[in-house]
Amino acid sequence: MNNVALTPRFLFTSGISSHAALGAKKAGGIIIGINPYNSYKSTEFLTDGSLNLDYVDYVISTGLGYKARNFVTIFSADGIIVINGEYGTLNEVTIAIDHNKPIVAIKGTGGIADSLEAIIKKIRPYELVDYTNDPEMAVDLLINMLPNPVSLHNF
């Protein structure tokens, strides 16, 4: 998974993405944690275990709670990669769809990632979505879906 983090200029992360943050950190990336609480020093933030501060360069404390924080996360992203996930991930996916953000789901990771194709087919077709079982392929697919592919060279 370390190669997954070689392309982004910034990585916004929480929860399962702490693994991606570690890979990005090892590759020299800048890690931004988007905190749903008022402060990274809040009791809830320090005890809920959703973000490992060892890998985070900057914390944005929104004070918005988890669901509203999802808007900040998705609006800040060029696209999203879905790994596993529950209702919060589904919420992020629907925000991404509503705002025409490209999405790649990594199948075989469980949860929403494994169900997304069926959900989208049942509700409404969405052109900016793709699926793979390979994390490195997910990054390549997402980059190719972006209108202006990112590069560390133009940062």
Whether 71 maps to a domain, the answer reads yes
Amino acid at 33: G
| Domains in the chain, number | 2
Residues 15 and 70 in one domain: yes
User: Which of 22, 43, 76 lies at the terminal end of a domain, its last residue?
Assistant: 76
pLDDT at residue 130 in the model = 97
* pLDDT for 46 beyond 90: no
pLDDT at residue 60 in the model = 83
Residue pLDDT, tens place only, 108-155: 999 999 999 999 999 998 999 999 999 889 989 999 999 875 554 444
Which residue range forms the structural domain that includes residue 5?
Answer: 1-76
pLDDT at residue 149 in the model = 58
Residues 24 and 85 in one domain: no
Residues whose CB is less than 8 angstroms from the CB of residue 155 and which lie 6 or more positions away in sequence, other chains included: 9
pLDDT at residue 153 in the model = 45
User: Which of 30, 60, 76 lies at the terminal end of a domain, its last residue?
Assistant: 76
Residues 53 and 99 in one domain: no
User: Which of 76, 99, 125 lies at the terminal end of a domain, its last residue?
Assistant: 76
Residues 67 and 92 in one domain: no
Mean pLDDT of 21-45: 74
Residues 34 and 94 in one domain: no
Residues 63 and 88 in one domain: no
Lowest mean pLDDT among 57-71, 72-86, 89-103, 110-124: 57-71
Residues 11 and 60 in one domain: yes
Mean pLDDT for the chain? 79
pLDDT at residue 110 in the model = 93
pLDDT at residue 105 in the model = 96
Residues 59 and 112 in one domain: no
What span, in angstroms and rounded, lies between the C-alpha atoms of 143 and 108? Answer: 21
Residue closest to 55 by CA, chosen among 29, 78, 84, 80: 29
130 φ, ψ (degrees, to nearest 5)? -145, 170
pLDDT band at 41 (very low <50, low <70, confident <90, very high): low
- Catalogue the E-assigned strands of 17-145: 30-35, 58-61, 80-83, 103-106, 129-132
